[in-house]
Amino acid sequence: MPFAQQALKNYNLPDAGGHFGVFGGRYIPETLMMPCEELTEAYRAAKQDAQFRAELDFHLKTFAGRPTPLYLAERMSQRYGYPIYLKREDLLHTGAHKINNALGQVLLASRLGKKRIVAETGAGQHGVAVATVCARFGLQGVIYMGSVDMERQAPNVGRMKLLGAEVRPVENGTKTLKDATSEAIRDWVTNVRDTFYIIGSVVGPHPYPMMVRDFQRVIGDETLCDLEKGDVHASHLVACVGGGSNAIGFFYPFLDSSTTLIGVEAGGEGDNSEHHAAALTRGKPGVLHGSHSYLLQTADGQVVEAHSISAGLDYPGVGPEHSYLFEQGRVTYHRVSDAEALAAARRLTMLEGILPALESAHAIAYLENLPREDVEGAVVICLSGRGDKDLQTYLSHV
């Protein structure tokens, strides 16, 4: 490890303005200030409402399939020489952690009387989760998705349409997640009276980074509970980071502990290439989609196109809380390449019979770079999603 991580005691960010240190906040058009404030107040009230919490817990259990197991990967453990556990978010309904947040936000939308939902999606897992909750609660769903991502994530596009959502292709810009997010925000601005925007990650203006984190912290809460029940000491927690929702939900309950926290970004074609999506480890602070955070940009502040073989990590920014934890040194961020992620996915599939999402494969790949002498207990990896959606990509690289 390059340095010893220090526990963050009494951690209570963001502040009232949605800031994590200098990061976060609201950099949005005036027309969205009132909706964001309305959402902030609705979320604050919901957090204090036992009935809301009980309703969300009910749907997480009976509809989404929580709690998810903490699985001891025995053959992977034998290979690396220390216990490796997988937090199995891939077993959730819709196939990934995205359903946790989609359920929480759709219940807020219902509280606010919104009947129309818009969302962005890259890998399609958030889009599928939103389409699913729209079907479950009888709401109109409109999903924006870059045409490049639609092509490489065709199974998820089909699922969204079968669920009754309208999938709108985005043809401008890079035709990936950044541009889908921009189009979803434009829709929200235009139709703010009857429309609720369900953001899929810990990005965007306040209160979204805080709210999405809180809805995803169930991942870390369950992990902590299972480790304590099993009397297992977690030396390291590892998760992939694009926008960063699975990672922050996983890490959050451990911020005041001695556990080493590792976020893994998409290194794309490698350190000798500019084709990557490593906003923290190769970017610098700026403003994107309503929030101040680390992002990929040129010297004059223009956003740079991101690249990852994984559509869910193919985003030029990262959540503001990750930016804060990066600068504080509480979480260490690394990157792995497309090739390393593909190899890791094949390794996990052959050794454990589990096909991971390409996003999750980046976290698995980091095991190759983790020195055995640094591990003083178990390594726990957030397996954020399953790989059905990436099957064509996997088969094309066999």
H helices within the chain, ranges in order? 30-47, 50-59, 74-80, 98-111, 125-137, 147-152, 154-162, 177-190, 208-216, 218-229, 245-251, 279-282, 320-328, 338-352, 358-365, 391-396
> Which helix (H) or strand (E) is 283 found in, with range?
none
> Residue written as tokens 């992002």?
295
* 161 part of the active site: no
Tally of CB atoms within 10 A around 45: 12
Report CA-CA distances (Å) from 60 to 77, 130, 356.
30, 14, 22
Q: Which of 87, 114, 120, 360 is the catalytic position? A: 120
In the structure encoding, which two tokens stand for residue 77, read together?
């453990």
CA pair distance 128, 180, nearest whole angstrom:
15
Q: Which of 291, 310, 323, 384 is the catalytic position? A: 384
* 389 part of the active site: no
Q: Which of 87, 89, 98, 178 is the catalytic position? A: 98
Q: Is the separation of the CB atoms in 392 and 355 below 8 Å?
A: no
For 55, counting Cβ atoms within 10 Å of its Cβ (0-12 exposed, 13-18 middle, 19+ buried), the class is middle
Report CA-CA distances (Å) from 115 to 46, 109, 126, 165, 237.
19, 8, 19, 13, 39
* 245 part of the active site: no
Catalytic residues: 98, 120, 384
